[in-house]
Amino acid sequence: MTAWRAPWRWAAWVAITVLLLAAPFLIEAAFGRAWVRITDVALLFIMLALGLNIVVGFAGLLDLGYIAFFAVGAYCYALLASPQLAIHWPFLVLLPLGAMVAALFGILLGAPTLRLRGDYLAIVTLGFGEIIRVLLNNLNRPVNITNGPQGITLIDPLQIGGFSLAQTHSFAGLTFTGLHSYYFVFLTCAVLSIIISRRLEDSRIGRAWVAIREDELAAASMGINTRNMKLLAFAMGATFGGVAGGLFASFQGFISPESFHLIDSIMVLCMVVLGGMGNVAGVVLGAVLLTALPEALRYIGPLQQRWFGEVFIDPSDLRMLLFGLALVLMMLFRPSGIWPARRRLVKSMTEKQHAAV
Amino acid sequence: MLSVHKLVVAYGGIKAVKGIDLEVRRGEVVALIGANGAGKSSTLKALSGLLKPSAGRIDYDGAEITGKPAYHLVRRGLAMVPEGRGVFPRLTVAENLAMGAYIHDDKSAIARDFERAYTLFPRLAERRAQPAGTLSGGEQQMLAMARALMCRPRLLLLDEPSMGLAPLMVQKIFETVRAVAAEGVTMLLVEQNAKLALETCDRGYVMESGAIVLADNAKTLLSSPQVRQAYLGE
């Protein structure tokens, strides 16, 4: 990328921008409206994967309960913007609030696990994820807060003034359904997440995280406050999850504890690992692929029908099988991910030193 | 510069260091020698803030630092080369050194520090773009020392610099210890290789099962029958 000359780079950015803006309409025309929805979900997963990437990829802290922050963000939004508690706050308040509450939960998880690493940390975070889900499932008695397993319905969509994103609008000859409008909101948030991730990676904080990931003791003897930096990683990662959760709740209009299972944590982790732990571009790619792949594999049923005249294997069985196979093959042939992290953290800095020496 | 009074370090109920006194004066190179499990490394970890002492008092540069965390001490010029070297294996030599300069942000001064490190350790200059994990043990030890120097320490704690190295490399490492000392860095080093350590240092402490049993000039210790018998195999 850096080798490209400026005009080309500029042109490439314009092309990417135009493509991203046109994407929902192109996708709808080519694959149908269902895929616009999948695209929206993929954008949410990009945010989630980037958040988890801060914890796992940058700071090297294995977190198997990450979806809990997504749940916290989602419930924070749902409770304060639905008939459940008869509160309807605007999303401009709720999204930052969700981010803050999720960050608080991140610190809540981080503080007691400061001394843990690797397997042990994974087990505790796994437990944390389950605790949140079970809590949401049972907070309907004696006082009904979360409505338990039934979940929360009729969650307010994102709206500014009278403009609701859930309704269909027409603008400049294009029809914006809710799916289209949400696409642009999610795209903005995903792009912001990418920018924040990249900035963090290149910052002093990012360097401290790398040091902690590589060797915590050595990091401490470099003058890095390992405790605060680890807590910051948990909090920052959780923030992304919290915002994504709020967006998810408004987008779906309905949430229940069912959406926040361990398998969802694992899925986000797979996106990070498969895409390329620590590399922002790789993680984005991982999120898109792992959202699209299981959906694309649904077409195996109709394909069997067309080729063999009947459906031999239930596509829902085969789908997860093929998905698993794809994961195994990936890890065999590209163990550090599709798009592995270049270690560019202090490169710009050390290159200057080379020039000086 | 550093004075330790009745320092106790315990892991759970087991006391690894049982109330030792120790003194390092400005410009000195002091050795702390002793057998495996004598409590040398625990002492050093407590001094560098990686372990909280259970009792006692540590003063550095005219202020008490007992129980202060490592990141605080590094900023005050007390750096440590951890045992087993602790380089960042997947980062290059240059990136490791840049990490050493974490607490500084004055670019031109950091550039000078890089230059100094590469002059002191020409081998590292040759390998600057190589991941630290691919260096030999001796080179990693050099890198660990060079990286600690990037913090611009006034007192450097070295934990077993000769551990697991070939004899020739051990000689080389002690040469660099002398070179670093010549730059005016005060040092306290923990060693099992008593002979080399005492030949390099000004003063020495001998530690045995958590207590200091001998303290004297390095030369005197080298010729003391007790040390010769216990640590020099004579």
pLDDT computed for residue A173 by the predictor: 74
Q: Does A217 touch chain B (CB under 8 A)?
A: yes
d(CA B61, CA A6): 53
Q: Does A221 touch chain B (CB under 8 A)?
A: yes
Rounded mean pLDDT, B134-163 = 91
CA distances from A254 to A44, A45, A150, A267 (A): 16, 18, 10, 21
Tell me the chain A residues in contact with residue B48 when contact means C-beta distances shorter than 8 Å: 221
Name the pLDDT band for B190 (thresholds 50, 70, 90): very high
In a domain, residue B197? The reply is yes
CATH for B117: 3.40.50.300
pLDDT computed for residue B43 by the predictor: 93
pLDDT, one tens digit per residue, over A245-261 is 999 999 999 999 999 99
Q: Is the pTM of this model over 0.90?
A: no
d(CA A190, CA A184): 10
pLDDT at A347 over 70: no
Two structure tokens written together for A94: 């709720």
Tell me which residues of chain B have a C-beta less than 8 Å from any C-beta of chain A: 48-50, 69-71, 74-75, 79-82, 86-92, 94-95, 97-100, 102-103, 105, 107, 110-111, 114-115, 118, 125, 128, 147-148, 151
Contact (CB<8Å) B50/A220:
yes
Distance from CA of B123 to the nearest CA of A (A): 14
User: What is the DSSP code string of A129-197?
Assistant: HHHHHHHHHHTTSSS-SS-GGG-B-SPPPPEETTEETTS-EEETTEEE-HHHHHHHHHHHHHHHHHHHH
Contact (CB<8Å) A345/B95:
yes
Of A198 and A341, which is predicted with more confidence? Answer: A198
Q: Which of A69, A87, A95 is nearest to A154 (CA)?
A: A87
Closest chain B residue to the Cα of A228, Cα to Cα: B71
What is the tally of structural domains in chain B? 1
What is the distance between the terminal CA atoms of chain B, rounded to a whole angstrom?
35
d(CA A137, CA A150): 8
pLDDT computed for residue A295 by the predictor: 86
Q: Cβ(A221)–Cβ(B80) under 8 Å?
A: yes
Closest chain A residue to the Cα of B146, Cα to Cα: A222
Across the A/B interface, how many CB contacts are shorter than 8 Å? 101
Q: Cβ(B102)–Cβ(A222) under 8 Å?
A: yes
d(CA A121, CA B67): 26
pLDDT computed for residue A115 by the predictor: 85
pLDDT computed for residue B234 by the predictor: 63
pLDDT computed for residue A353 by the predictor: 46
Q: How many alpha carbons fall within 13 Å on the CB side of residue A1?
A: 5
* Of the candidate ranges A46-50, A176-180, A248-252, B152-156, the one whose mean pLDDT is the lowest: A176-180
- Within 8 A by CB and 6+ apart from A39, the residues are A23, A24, A27, A183
**Sequence letter at residue A237:** G
d(CA B161, CA B223): 23
Rounded mean pLDDT, B116-132 = 91
pLDDT computed for residue A128 by the predictor: 94
pLDDT computed for residue A143 by the predictor: 86
In a domain, residue B7? The reply is no
* Of the candidate ranges A5-9, A130-134, A235-239, B89-93, the one whose mean pLDDT is the lowest: A5-9
User: What is the DSSP code string of A192-229?
Assistant: HHHHHHHHHHTSHHHHHHHHHHH-HHHHHHTT--HHHH
Tell me what the pLDDT averaged over chain B comes to: 90
Tell me what the pLDDT averaged over chain A comes to: 88
Across the interface, of A218, A219, A350, the residue whose CB is closest to B98 is A350
| Boundaries of domain holding B119 | 26-52+66-231
pLDDT computed for residue A310 by the predictor: 77
Percent of chain A with pLDDT over 70: 94
Contact (CB<8Å) B102/A223:
yes
In a domain, residue B59? The reply is no
Across the interface, of B70, B95, B97, the residue whose CB is closest to A221 is B70
pLDDT computed for residue A19 by the predictor: 92
pLDDT at A357 over 60: no
pLDDT, one tens digit per residue, over A1-14 is 455 677 888 999 99
In a domain, residue B18? The reply is no
Rounded mean pLDDT, B134-140 = 90
pLDDT computed for residue A351 by the predictor: 47
pLDDT at B196 over 50: yes
Across the interface, of B74, B86, B89, the residue whose CB is closest to A217 is B86
pLDDT computed for residue A4 by the predictor: 61
pLDDT computed for residue B230 by the predictor: 77
d(CA A253, CA A81): 10
In a domain, residue B190? The reply is yes
pLDDT computed for residue A343 by the predictor: 55
Contact (CB<8Å) B48/A221:
yes
In a domain, residue B5? The reply is no
- Looking up tokens 């002690």 gives B174
Neighbours of A317 (CB within 10 A): 10
Distance from CA of A225 to the nearest CA of B (A): 5
In a domain, residue B100? The reply is yes
Contact (CB<8Å) B75/A356:
no
pLDDT at A345 over 60: no
pLDDT computed for residue A184 by the predictor: 92
Q: What is the C-alpha R_g of chain A?
A: 21
Percent of chain B with pLDDT over 90: 56
pLDDT, one tens digit per residue, over A78-115 is 999 988 888 889 989 999 999 999 999 999 999 999 88
In a domain, residue B147? The reply is yes
